[in-house]
Amino acid sequence: MASNTLFPRSSGVLLHPTSLPGRYGIGDLGQYAYQFVDWLAAAGQSIWQVLPLGPTSYGDSPYQCLSAFAGNPNLISLDVLQAKGWLTAVDLAKVPDFPPYKVDFGPVVEWRTGVLATAYRGFKARATAEQKAAFQTWCQQEAAWLEDFALFAALKAANGGRPWVEWAPDEALRKPAAIASARETHAEKISEVKFLQWCFFSQWLDLRDYAHSKGIRLVGDIPIFVAHDSSDVWGNPQFFYLEPSGKPTVIAGVPPDYFSPTGQRWGNPLYRWDVMKADGYRWWIERIRATLATVDAVRIDHFRGFEAYWEVPASEATAIKGEWIPGPKFDLFEAIQKALGSNLPIIAEDLGVITEGVIELRDGLGLPGMNILQFAFGGSGGENRFLPHHHVQNSVVYSGTHDNNTTLGWWMDPKEVSPDIREYLKAYVGHEVQEPHWELIRMGMASVAHTFVAPMQDILGFGADTRMNTPGKESGNWGWRFTADWLQHPNHQKLAWLTKVFDRWPAKTAS
């Protein structure tokens, strides 16, 4: 599938938009998103990688979204809405004193929800005929997913945010009469949800176009599984293993390993791949199509699940009593290729328990896999596949990901970096390690891998208190932010210099 025309030698930064600066409590698609694009371009970066952009819910995880197709309304720039005349200066005059270095999700979402509702009223009252026509046209174009999602979101709001299996049974199980009645009862809320989706995608595509004008490609993220409490499962129950009540019978996870003696019980419902195949894998094809309409390449999280996945009975409290079940393998991707083209810019997240079958699937599709440099110096010594001298060209190398500690935090934690690892890294680089984040960034830049990506925290030299996510930790994740002054940090020049040294500077501006 992949080729070097899709993945030229390049480098970039992993930063979710929620981490951007701004006075509204959470990063958004406004002023600082554009400044970050400028920052990337000035440093010779040509990739901005983000996490999934969908609407989050309980736990605030972008990997447990309310929809695989919708956008997160909390990323909508309020300043852009004001510029369009749908919010006023008075509407934005009194902003709560939100913390600048983290997203306090509860208060932020509550405040922004009220402001966005005001923007919807402003749109209805003051939008031009041309703007209203553009909104209606967009709704018609996106109806395949938007109709279900807007009704789902309206019903969820009417039910106090509760999961859909806790709604009135006729609404939960989509009885036609109940659905028709709900569309009438909640018509105004449905319209507001659609409006906010239009705002999100309009702003995102404007940002994407600006990024393209600066030579920046956007890399998105598709979690292999979807949340049970999502419009995807509610609207397409036939594609999932569910009880008649809508609750899952089996769920996703990973088996016990060195890091977790009970495994990881993710809780996502599992796909009925036989039913999806009989339907021509239509849902997956549309999911890939929709994502690639908004980004230039996409990382598929937990790629190994297409080869085989860990199935856990939903009644189990841990992931211990599970079993490996064969996935759709090449069959799914052949259907996607037939529908969308054979040369798709997909990155396979091939971490975890990787078998020969997973490697055969990844390489048979020609997809780049992932190398994580924080994983390179423990365990199997010189045979460790993450060490730079084992990298292959068709791969993407990271200093760390959103699930890792920051590199400085990793280095300072004796539970993660033993004296042996310290000595090994010292021997590998040939000198005492003073700035571990820059050692790994240099290593990644020097790698033969066509793409190198570093989290923003590593470029800024931040410690463990800025970690984005700790897997298995139920709360306190996803909230890291930085302030605008860090965009002037001198590390920017160091990043630019290494990008030139290791021939990752975009060719058209290399001079």
- pLDDT of 473: 84
- pLDDT of 2: 47
Q: Which residues are catalytic?
A: 301, 349, 403
- Of 409, 420, 348, 410, which is closest to residue 384 (Cα–Cα)? 420
pLDDT tens across the length of the chain (511 residues): 444 688 999 999 999 999 999 999 999 999 999 999 999 999 999 999 999 999 999 899 999 999 999 999 999 999 999 999 999 999 999 999 999 999 999 999 999 999 999 999 999 999 999 999 999 999 999 999 999 999 999 999 999 999 999 999 999 999 999 999 999 999 999 999 999 999 999 999 999 999 999 999 999 999 999 999 999 999 999 999 999 999 999 999 999 876 688 998 999 999 999 999 999 999 999 999 999 999 999 999 999 999 999 999 999 999 999 999 999 999 999 999 999 998 999 999 999 879 999 999 999 999 999 999 999 997 656 789 999 999 999 999 999 999 999 999 999 999 999 999 999 999 999 999 999 999 999 999 999 999 999 999 999 999 999 999 998 788 899 999 999 999 999 999 999 999 999 999 998 643 3
Four-residue CA torsion sign, 306, 325, 269, 227: negative
The C-alpha atoms of residue 437 and residue 399 are separated, in whole angstroms, by 8
Record the tokens describing residue 398, joined without a space.
């990271």
- pLDDT of 509: 44
- Of 115, 124, 114, 130, which is closest to residue 80 (Cα–Cα)? 115
Contact 48, 289 (CB under 8 A): no
The C-alpha atoms of residue 227 and residue 109 are separated, in whole angstroms, by 20
Block residue for tokens 């929809």? 67
- Of 280, 391, 392, 287, which is closest to residue 338 (Cα–Cα)? 280
Contact 441, 458 (CB under 8 A): yes
Pairing of strands 395-398, 451-455: parallel
Q: Do you know the residue count of the chain?
A: 511
In the three-class reduction of DSSP (H, G, I as helix; E, B as strand; rest coil), residue 219 is classed as strand
Give the type of residue at 382: G
The C-alpha atoms of residue 339 and residue 354 are separated, in whole angstroms, by 28
- pLDDT of 5: 82
Record the tokens describing residue 46, joined without a space.
């040509």
The C-alpha atoms of residue 308 and residue 186 are separated, in whole angstroms, by 41
β-sheet bridge partners, residue 454 = 13
- pLDDT of 120: 98
- pLDDT of 438: 98
- pLDDT of 353: 79
CA angle 412, 379, 475 (to 5 degrees): 50
* pTM assigned to the model: 0.97
Please report which residue ranges of 44-186 form alpha helices under DSSP H: 78-83, 105-126, 129-141, 143-158, 169-172, 176-185
